[in-house]
Amino acid sequence: MELQGHIGRFQRQCLGLLSRFGGSDRLRQFKFQDDNVEGDKVSKKDEIELAMQQICANVMEYCQSLMLQSSPTFQHAVCLFTPSLSETVNRDGPRQDTQAPVVPYWRLPGLGIIVYLLKQSANDFFSYYDSHRQSVSKLQNVDQLPPDEIKELCQSVMPAGVDKISTAQKYVLARRRLVKVINNRAKLLSLCSFIIETCLFILWRHLEYYLLHCMPTDSQDSLFASRTLFKSRRLQDSFASETNLDFRSGLAIVSQHDLDQLQADAINAFGESLQKKLLDIEGLYSKVRSRYSFIQALVRRIRGLLRISRN
């Protein structure tokens, strides 16, 4: 029991990293680092951004592994996220830079953090893609870049003394910086593509369970529903092993209103514009890299789930 308690605490804290390093909270991390980093801030920012994306990718991979190992069937799925999209609804409001409320470590985050991370990663992908394409173009035509831009590229490699080196040395430093940017953006594109695909998988598995197999506790068969939910929460059983954290009961109480609200919010959040972005990403990156991608299939399945009426 003590071991299960430690495992459960570790799992919850891993999920909490998504709120800290994904989405708008990441801006606070950048500002904090900018205020505390001296010297080459441009390169440091690139390293920090890459580290944050890597953390999100690692947590998403961990979530996917937990679901695949612990959920033999859709009817007995392990749900790592509650059926709430409040995180993405709140953050998509008029103040998108507002810090998300801190979720206590003993409480599961809502599915909204996955949708928000999905949207954020899609936007990041196009930003990285444009930066990568521009850097490649500059590298191919570095001799034609204006002197001010050459100087700026050199300063990111050598903060002081750029004016004292020869023009040939400046071009060498500019090329070195562009190669570094290209490699950085390539890694970020790979991480974003992975995060997007994993977010879609987790969103699909949760919606599959909540909209098709979950029996609300306020239904006529509430007693049977409670037993079903109790049996299907093996992972949450380990989360609730500590006596002072009634974690399991908090997750098992899913009302019909919760499920209806989930479907309504998901329809709004997973709209046509987001779907088009995701399909464009698959076309721009995944197929070009000769890597099998399931973005289109997952988008199609999620879209089909949201069209199903629960009445």
Structure confidence by residue, pLDDT tens digits, 84-110: 998 776 656 544 444 444 445 456 889
Nearest to 121 by CA among 26, 54, 55, 22: 22
The pLDDT value recorded for residue 156 is 85
The pLDDT value recorded for residue 290 is 58
The pLDDT value recorded for residue 108 is 80
> Alpha helices of the chain — where are they, by DSSP H?
2-21, 25-36, 41-70, 86-91, 112-140, 147-157, 167-208, 222-231, 234-239, 247-252, 256-269, 272-281, 295-307
* Euclidean distance between CA atoms 230 and 137, whole angstroms: 57
The whole-number mean pLDDT for each consecutive block of 10 residues of the chain, a chain of 311 residues, reads 72 81 60 55 84 93 87 69 82 49 62 94 94 95 92 86 87 93 95 95 94 80 46 42 35 82 94 95 75 86 87 55
Beta bridge partners of 82: 110
Full-prediction pTM beyond 0.75?
yes
The pLDDT value recorded for residue 228 is 46
The pLDDT value recorded for residue 24 is 52
Nearest to 203 by CA among 131, 130, 119: 119
